[in-house]
Amino acid sequence: MKKTIYIVNGPNLNLLGTREPEIYGANTLSDVEMACDKRCKSRGYALSFFQSNIEGEMVDQIQKAGAKGAALLINAAAYTHTSVAIYDALKTLDIPVIEVHISQPAAREAFRQQSFVAPVSMGSISGFGTNSYLLAIDAAIDSLL
């Protein structure tokens, strides 16, 4: 059985901790990665954690997750609302995919309420700050049991 949880993060998430902390909180992406690594290890899984501002690099990681991973968590950030390329890549996977958001897109601007990720995900976890990642890890691993 594949034992790695892949987490792919999209544009501007490298600015966590400084970008709009009233929306995204004070944790940095490094803080999120450390918390996710700890949670994965506590559940017997390894973590592959990735962030890019470049759509094609995200697609490459999605494809890698499909080949090598047990599950994929994706916070596509702004690409959630615009990327057919990410939708198409996710559609090819036969592993659990969970959409993750720190904020609650449904409570934000109208354009953020359209998701190209949700239709090809088993579920979405949003609005719980960076704890959304930990909840998604648990959901992904529980779905594999």
CB-based contacts of 14, cutoff 8 Å, min separation 6: 29, 51, 53
- Is 101 marked active-site? yes
Catalytic residue among 6, 24, 45, 87: 24
Distances 140 to 1, 36, 55, 95, 117 between C-alpha atoms, Å: 14, 12, 23, 9, 16
**Kind of pairing between the strands at 123-126 and 97-101:** parallel
SS3 71: strand
- Is 79 marked active-site? no
CA gap 126, 103 in Å, rounded: 6
Catalytic residue among 6, 45, 87, 101: 101
Give the active site residues.
Answer: 24, 101
